Structure 1
Amino acid sequence: MRRYAVFPILALGGGCAAFALRLAQWRTGFEPDTGLPVPGCPFGIAAAVLAAAVFAACLLLVRRLPEQAEDAPLFPAGFSTADAGLLTLAVAGVFLIAAAGLADLAAGMGVQGLPGMALLSAADRRERLLLGALTAAAGVFLFPAAAACRRGGREKPRAFNGAVLLAPVVCLVVRLVLVYRQDSTNPVLAAFWVEVLALVLTILALYRLSAFAYGAGRTRRFVLYAVPAVTLCLASLADGGLSAVLFNGGAALTLTGFLLQHLAVLGRCGDVQ
């Protein structure tokens, strides 16, 4: 996998840098009384430039990866690994995504002590319940996908039901609608663009992941969405909020795990562009 190590390094390195810039933006780039952005804040501009640079670099670097043909390995063969460390990343991320759903469900049911609980109206609680149910369902569907990648000895991975991988995509599309509906009431785009774009890229990366279960997997397209998705999910951790932190941390771990697993398979196969 060493020949492809640039992609996880780009995703995680860019994510850590973007997190630091985003955190600095929250501390210095908004008026404490009104929440309005401070004009010309260098950290906000730098975070946007960094995100664009990661995507541009990934767009150029994916040429190193094989352009897979119609006979590309089906899921989970193209992601199977006996490395417990790689499997742990994806599984831990899936559990965090499910935990994010449970946090939203708890908030929707009126559990006290959760961030933002006092601000939720009855309508907001119903919306939070739906948001939590969908996010938890996404985690539940992703778990068997992550578990199916476990390879023992020379055992050939079994075929996987692609509908199980498509279900989280559908759940997260609805989550995107609900999250954007909440964020759109905020007139300050700088306050929520990272979270929304991170969710969009996560959905696209999971959609490209599901394509492998239908024999339509394309490594370049999966990596092109997964790398910037990890970067922006890590940057979104600076935005705070219990559910958002759990979800974005879980999405970053899950995509990193699947990315490393797939690159490891490519490395074992000796594919060279």
Structure 2
Amino acid sequence: MDKHYALPLTAALGGAAACVLRLLQNHTGFEADTGLPIPGNLAALALAVLLIGLALALALTARLLPAEEEPGPVLPRDFSTENTGLLTIPMCGVFLLVLSGLSDLTESLAVLPEGLVSSRHAIYGILRAGGLGFSPQGQMLLGALTLLAAGSLFPVLAGCRRREGGPKHKAPAAITLLPVAALVVRLVLTYRIDSVNPSLTMYYVELLALVFMTLGFYRLSSFAFQAGQTRRFGFYAAGSLVLCAASLADGSAYLSSLLLYAGGALTLTGFLLLRIANGLETEKSGGTIVGPVE
């Protein structure tokens, strides 16, 4: 295996381990009646140690990616590939984002989604059922923004498919900022819900996942403006994979959130793999790979 793939491999293995530990924490680390954390829970401690260790490991393995030169890589030219299998990964992620947006719109039709009261912990369910969940208007906004964000990624991915002569039309660079805007709005609304919970350990993974996804898509968008840095993008994309995998273990009351974590992680990981594969192809061909035109 090429050393450049050490970063996504570390993230995938770390994400699986984080998901297992988060499941154990949810089953053994909180009191059944109140939902408050149990002091000294081994799974909770192990998860915190694992996340800190993975942050260091991802920072180190990201250094194995090639350093940037002037001018920097461009999206989609330096993410282009003829490998349809690699393109399938981010495409599946984008489709999950579409489903997340549609799910948000569907859930917004109900004043109080049924899943809120039956949240995994009693105190969390009461807080959200007490009117602190997403309002129908807020969730409708989230759904519309997620659909716009997903729609903006389709032309970007189309440009990543290497064709003779490049694509007929180049997607505007500004549309790559739509996923960033959508995630910022979701982060604010999610924090508004979660911050009233007295147990930080119950929701810190979810907030970190949203923060890393936001930064990951922001770093991805910088490539469209020829200001991208592969190592920084790789770190945030890999971190998103770890934290989103752990967040999936929480079993959010909102199906749209679960789809968002899965879709965001797959999309960012897919773009990271495209960037790595393109860089390796360029090295092997002596820098003569011709991708889509700018």
Query: Same-fold call, TM > 0.5?
Result: yes
Q: Residues 129-144 of structure 1: matches in 2 within 5 Å? A: 129-144=140-155
Q: CA deviation at 1:145?
A: 1.8
Q: CA deviation at 1:187?
A: 1.1
Q: Residues 6-155 of structure 1: matches in 2 within 5 Å? A: 6-110=6-110, 115-116=115-116, 119=129, 121=131, 124-152=135-163, 154-155=164-165
Letter in 2 for 1:247: L
Q: CA deviation at 1:36?
A: 0.4
* Worse overlay, 159-168 or 197-206: 159-168
User: Contact (CA 8 Å) 2:180, 2:217: kept in 1 or not?
Assistant: yes
Show structure 2 runs of 5+ residues with no match. 119-128, 285-294
CA gap of 1:133–1:160, structure 2 versus 1, over 3 A, is: closer
Aligned-residue Cα RMSD (Å) equals: 2.3
User: Contact (CA 8 Å) 1:138, 1:168: kept in 2 or not?
Assistant: yes
Matched residue of 2:249: which SS?
A: helix
CA gap of 1:36–1:113, structure 2 versus 1, over 3 A, is: closer
Q: 1:207 aligns with which of 205, 213, 218?
A: 218
CA gap of 1:114–1:137, structure 2 versus 1, over 3 A, is: farther
Q: CA deviation at 1:73?
A: 2.9
Match of 1:262? 275
* Worse overlay, 109-118 or 232-241: 109-118
User: Contact (CA 8 Å) 1:70, 1:215: kept in 2 or not?
Assistant: no
**Residues 1:244 and 2:244 are matched in the alignment:** no
What TM-score comes out, normalization by structure 1 length? Answer: 0.92
Q: How many residues align?
A: 271
Letter in 1 for 2:259: L
User: Contact (CA 8 Å) 2:111, 2:136: kept in 1 or not?
Assistant: no
User: Contact (CA 8 Å) 1:169, 1:203: kept in 2 or not?
Assistant: yes
Match of 2:291? none
Runs of 4+ in 1 over 6 A off after TM superposition: none
Match of 1:229? 240
Distance 1:71 1:249 in 2: 33
Q: CA deviation at 1:111?
A: 8.3
User: Contact (CA 8 Å) 1:51, 1:228: kept in 2 or not?
Assistant: no
Q: CA deviation at 1:142?
A: 1.9
Match of 2:192? 181
Show structure 1 runs of 5+ residues with no match. none
Matched residue of 2:247: which SS?
A: helix
Distance 2:140 2:117 in 1: 13
Matched residue of 1:186: which SS?
A: coil
What TM-score comes out, normalization by structure 2 length? Answer: 0.86
Match of 2:290? none
Q: CA deviation at 1:61?
A: 2.1
